[in-house]
Structure 1
């Protein structure tokens, strides 16, 4: 039977004690638009500048501030904007 060694001590950097909850700064939430891929369940779309958009489970989400991706998906016949 295998035995797991647990004699390694956890190290903590800085002034924070182990197990202490730390609030991380968060930025404003970015709204997303969801599109349904009518042709494929999964694929990778290559945008200008070798940027990739990934379709998974026939869905793709892009930020509403991403004008290039939104314009591409809205004009492509394989994609349908899903209601919010």
Structure 2
């Protein structure tokens, strides 16, 4: 069972989260989307979450995110009707 804790991952509530794996690199990723309009990509390393990237571009809260089966692409949608 995986367990990790971050006190402040986003400025607002997290509405979506997805977990993916890049098997070629033997890496596991989590991407979270929030009402603060942001997405954060996290890498799972030694039972810890490490912030890799903070994505900007949505004008309203992010409500869905997903990673493709190879862990190389992600897509998100938000309340501003954008898909990124």
* TM-score class normalised by the smaller sequence: under 0.3
> Which of the pair has more CA radius of gyration?
1
**Which of the pair is proportionally richer in helix?**
1
RCO higher in structure (CA 8 A, sep ≥6) = 1
TM-score after normalising by structure 1:
0.27
